């Protein structure tokens, strides 16, 4: 039986290579005015996604463009729900149905470790798009919160980020947390896809069962990594398709 894997990328963030990246993925996470993006970039990115026939998702994050949504914030549950609502509203005005929603940056990481943040995130999504899919880590508070309210999920792994022994991503402030070498990134992608494990930064092997694999669109090596990843996965007999 052919194993399917989704390749996703975070786009609409102001980069100049969105068209090239769109041709290599099977789903896209579109910034919708929090860490990046505005009505014009959302519209343009949706048009590229429709042309490429890839699954369209929203990529809401903290409204902190100065730090690209990668700085932890401490908001109330009501404020988080409002933040998600505003950003989903922007993209839903152009694309009335979303295949998936994937939180961005610090919001993604904090929600997966904090039950109240996770609950606020999934509640806000369900209020606007109850039949969408949540892209999230395979373990943690996000998948737990989604399961509790029957929001479908898709477990995500990262091609271009190193992992810690506890299964969390290494903070970007640490050396080698970001994988810039395409060969090393693709080796990690193949390990996740074939073995359902990942080798951590300190060379431990931990379980990681993912249906979708992400490359960050703002990485300088994103096109090279995705191009080689897609080729290598397909040569390994893996079908690239959205869930």
Give the chain's end-to-end CA distance (angstroms, integer): 16
The DSSP secondary structure of 7-34, one letter per residue, reads EEEEE-SS-S-HHHHHTT-SEEEEE-SS
pLDDT of residue 18: 97
Whats the size of the chain, residue-wise? Answer: 243
pLDDT at residue 200, rounded to an integer: 96
Task: Over range 185-197, report the average pLDDT.
Answer: 97
pLDDT of 156 higher than 80: yes
What average pLDDT does this structure show over 207-227? Answer: 96
For the chain, give the percent of residues with pLDDT over 70: 100
Question: Locate tokens 């191009």: which residue?
Answer: 227
CA distance 24 to 114: 33
Kindly tell me if the per-residue pLDDT of 79 is higher than 90.
Answer: yes
* pLDDT grade for 2, boundaries at 50, 70 and 90: confident
Strand, coil or helix: 152: coil
Q: Are strands 153-158 and 212-216 parallel, antiparallel or unpaired?
A: parallel
Amino acid 233: pLDDT: 98
Rounded to whole angstroms, how far apart are CA atoms 192 and 210?
A: 7
Could you tell me the maximum CA-CA distance found in the chain, to the nearest angstrom? 47
On the question of pLDDT at 1 being above 80, the answer is no
pLDDT in tens, 9-66: 999 999 889 999 999 999 999 999 999 999 999 999 999 999 999 999 999 999 999 9
The mean per-residue pLDDT over the stretch 204-220 comes to 96
Instruction: Quickly state the pLDDT bin for 109 (edges 50, 70, 90).
Output: very high
The reported pLDDT for the residue numbered 107 is 98
* Residue 22: closest CA among 2, 49, 46: 49
Query: Is the predicted pLDDT of residue 118 greater than 90, yes or no?
Result: yes
**pLDDT tens per residue across span 160-176:** 999 999 999 999 989 99
Percent of the chain with pLDDT over 90: 97
Mean pLDDT across 233-242? 97
Q: Which domains does the chain possess?
A: 3-240 (3.20.20.370)
Phi-psi region of 54 (alpha: psi -120 to 50; beta: other; left: phi over 0): beta
C-alpha distances (whole Å) from 146 to each of 5, 10, 45, 74, 139 are 21, 21, 27, 21, 11
Alpha helices for the chain (secondary structure H): 18-22, 39-52, 77-92, 105-113, 115-128, 141-148, 182-195, 222-235
Residue where the block lists tokens 């409204």 = 63
């Amino acid at each position: 039986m052919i194993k399917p894997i989704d390749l996703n990328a975070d786009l609409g963030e102001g980069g100049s290579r969105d068209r090239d990246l769109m041709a290599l993925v099977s789903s896209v996470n579109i910034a919708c005015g929090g860490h990046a993006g505005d009505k014009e970039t959302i519209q343009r990115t949706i048009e590229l996604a429709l042309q490429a026939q890839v699954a369209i998702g929203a990529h809401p994050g903290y409204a902190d463009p100065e730090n690209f949504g990668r700085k932890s914030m401490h908001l109330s549950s009501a404020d988080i729900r409002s933040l998600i609502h505003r950003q989903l509203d922007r993209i839903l005005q152009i694309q009335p149905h979303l295949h998936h929603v994937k939180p961005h940056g610090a919001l993604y990481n904090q929600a997966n470790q904090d039950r109240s943040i996770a609950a606020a995130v999934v509640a806000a999504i369900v209020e606007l798009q109850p039949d969408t899919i949540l892209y999230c880590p395979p373990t943690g508070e996000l998948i737990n919160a989604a399961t509790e309210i029957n929001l479908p999920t898709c477990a995500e792994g990262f091609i271009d980020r190193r992992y810690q022994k506890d299964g969390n991503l290494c903070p970007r402030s640490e050396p080698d947390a970001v994988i810039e070498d395409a060969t090393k990134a693709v080796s990690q992608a193949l390990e996740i896809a074939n073995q359902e494990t990942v080798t951590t930064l300190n060379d431990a092997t931990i379980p990681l069962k993912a249906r979708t694999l992400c490359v960050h669109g703002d990485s300088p090596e994103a096109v090279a990594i995705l191009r080689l990843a897609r080729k290598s996965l397909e040569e390994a007999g893996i079908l690239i398709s959205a869930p």
